[in-house]
Chains A and B, each alone.
Chain A
Amino acid sequence: MNNTPVLKVQDIHKSFGNVEVLRGVSFEVEKGETKVFIGPSGTGKSTLLKCINQLTIPDRGNVWLNGREIVHSHVKINLYRQQMGMVFQNFFLFDHLTAVRNVEISLIKVKRMNRKEAREKAMEELSRVGMADKANSYPAELSGGQAQRLSIARALAMDPEVMLFDEPTSSLDPELTGEVLDVMRKLARGGMTMVVVTHEMGFARWAANEIFFMDEGVILESGPPAEMFTRPRFERTRRFISRMTELYAEEQSDG
């Protein structure tokens, strides 16, 4: 059992119309690892994440969670999704619910917890992302950084086996990305298994056990951060990383 990866993705293919977005993507994540996907926009990174928890049904390929295959088992898909937390670029918070209700609703509806337990658990998760004092605020009253931390808390409350992050800082003002990345670093340090799509090279370098560079629907190359940042095999990888690192450095010096 020990060497079963938490998440195993094999040969995922997905087309939208004539556009082949994913052309055979495979990777594994062991317990406690953080795997980071980088690459130009429109190369299928977000689609790949959605294929993992079947928000998008892949045309071909398989996904295993803790050794159990999840593709094509639509009946149980909700059980699997509970075990995979997902954080979206645009937060997708529930607008009509306060922060604490955002976190507890899935505990009540999906995990069938009673209200008292759910409230306690929700407050615990809010504290974990530094949002306890905003428990009674509505999403519209939160800053982007607070909203994204809340959406992380909402996903964490389900006690997922793995967390999927889909460009969690891309829609934030530069000065707000730090507070979200801090939460993610804390999670990584705490042993959370994570798959992260991001353009934040600093985070990738710090947190990743392995970085995947995606281009045109395939993983062009992969390796530990030290290798990818210093001696990538492909010119395209090198150019992308250096351009992104420059942007990141600019942001840092601005801040």
Chain B
Amino acid sequence: MDSLLFIQNNLLSALWEGWGKTLRLIFMSVPFGLIVGIFIATGRVYGNSPLMFICRMYVLFFKGTPLLLLLFMIYFGLPPLGISFTPFTASVLGFILCMGAYSSEYIRGAIQSVKTGQVIAAQALGMTRWQSVFSIVLPQAFCRALPGVGNEIIYLIKYTSLAHIIAYIEVTGAGKIVAARFFRFTETFVVVGIIYLIMVSVATKLLKILEKRLSFPGM
């Protein structure tokens, strides 16, 4: 009874604002992360050799370092070099770079699975190389990459909980503060967990719908 009163009177109002911030992080990071992923993947398959090299190094670097360390570097490591960001921008930047690296791997595999004959046919019709990549290869690759990329989106939703460590108080951070103030860790973290569960369930459902709508016969 006591717990329920705490949740109703103290916790929910405190978490509400944090939840909004979590959603802001997600909605800023996912689309740009995907765009970065698409460009990196395309560069790795269709770019000239310097571009391929740059894209490979990008993936190696951002896949090879912990996300938390990346956030630390952006937020604490760059200001001495004269580049500083707000906690929000630093978090979003870190998430975009990370998501771009991981999703590019799925998209690259999908690009390579599109039959090369279609690019030849597109070029025979007078399309430029990039026209054929953007209107023929990428739409098919994206459909095929969606299950894997969807997983990355789910991961990202949960990774946003790291943002409070660099002072952007999203829902996990907000929960931590309330929990410490009232010394109510169990209730708080159960509720925070449920919030993530809701977000992930909704995202999973939306991704399923999107997958269904984008699929085509013979995929």
Task: Tell whether, in the assembled complex, residue A110 and residue B127 are in contact, meaning their CB atoms are under 8 Å apart.
Answer: yes
Task: Tell whether, in the assembled complex, residue B135 and residue A109 are in contact, meaning their CB atoms are under 8 Å apart.
Answer: yes
Contacts of A105 in B (CB 8 A): 135-136
CA distance A138 to B126 in the complex (A): 22
Contacts of B135 in A (CB 8 A): 105, 109
Task: Tell whether, in the assembled complex, residue B118 and residue A106 are in contact, meaning their CB atoms are under 8 Å apart.
Answer: no
Which of B124, B143, B216, B218 contacts A81, CB < 8 Å?
Answer: B124
Task: Tell whether, in the assembled complex, residue A95 and residue B117 are in contact, meaning their CB atoms are under 8 Å apart.
Answer: no
Number of B residues with CB within 8 Å of any CB on chain A: 23
Closest B residue to A151 using CB positions? B121
Task: Tell whether, in the assembled complex, residue A96 and residue B140 are in contact, meaning their CB atoms are under 8 Å apart.
Answer: yes
Contacts of B219 in A (CB 8 A): 95-96, 140
- The answer to the question of A240 belonging to the interface, with a C-beta cut-off of 8 Å to chain B, is no
Evaluate whether A92 and B131 lie within 8 angstroms (CB atoms) in the complex, with A106-B126, A141-B217 already known.
no
CA distance A107 to B206 in the complex (A): 33
- The answer to the question of A177 belonging to the interface, with a C-beta cut-off of 8 Å to chain B, is no
CA distance A174 to B115 in the complex (A): 25
Task: Tell whether, in the assembled complex, residue A53 and residue B136 are in contact, meaning their CB atoms are under 8 Å apart.
Answer: no
Task: Tell whether, in the assembled complex, residue B120 and residue A92 are in contact, meaning their CB atoms are under 8 Å apart.
Answer: yes
Contacts of B126 in A (CB 8 A): 78-79, 81-82, 106, 110, 158
Task: Tell whether, in the assembled complex, residue B128 and residue A96 are in contact, meaning their CB atoms are under 8 Å apart.
Answer: no
- The answer to the question of B201 belonging to the interface, with a C-beta cut-off of 8 Å to chain A, is no
**A125, chain B: closest CB distance, angstroms:** 13
**B17, chain A: closest CB distance, angstroms:** 43
Evaluate whether A96 and B115 lie within 8 angstroms (CB atoms) in the complex, with A88-B120, A106-B126, A110-B125 already known.
no
- The answer to the question of A93 belonging to the interface, with a C-beta cut-off of 8 Å to chain B, is yes
Task: Tell whether, in the assembled complex, residue B117 and residue A96 are in contact, meaning their CB atoms are under 8 Å apart.
Answer: no
- The answer to the question of A64 belonging to the interface, with a C-beta cut-off of 8 Å to chain B, is no
CA distance A74 to B136 in the complex (A): 22
Task: Tell whether, in the assembled complex, residue B127 and residue A139 are in contact, meaning their CB atoms are under 8 Å apart.
Answer: no
Contacts of A139 in B (CB 8 A): 218
Contacts of B124 in A (CB 8 A): 53, 55, 81, 84-86, 88, 155
CB proximity to B under 8 Å, residues A44-94: 53, 55, 78-79, 81-82, 84-86, 88, 90, 92-94
Task: Tell whether, in the assembled complex, residue B139 and residue A96 are in contact, meaning their CB atoms are under 8 Å apart.
Answer: yes
Evaluate whether A95 and B120 lie within 8 angstroms (CB atoms) in the complex, with A79-B126, A82-B125, A105-B135 already known.
no
Contacts of B122 in A (CB 8 A): 94, 106
- The answer to the question of A154 belonging to the interface, with a C-beta cut-off of 8 Å to chain B, is yes
CB proximity to A under 8 Å, residues B41-58: none
- B93-132, CB under 8 A of A: which get 1 and which 0? 0000000000000000000001101101111111110010
Task: Tell whether, in the assembled complex, residue A106 and residue B127 are in contact, meaning their CB atoms are under 8 Å apart.
Answer: yes
CA distance A109 to B123 in the complex (A): 12
Task: Tell whether, in the assembled complex, residue A88 and residue B117 are in contact, meaning their CB atoms are under 8 Å apart.
Answer: yes
Apart from A95-B115, A106-B127, A154-B125, 17 more pairs, CB < 8 Å: A53-B124, A78-B123, A78-B126, A78-B128, A82-B125, A84-B124, A88-B124, A92-B121, A94-B122, A95-B118, A95-B140, A95-B219, A96-B136, A106-B126, A110-B131, A138-B217, A140-B217
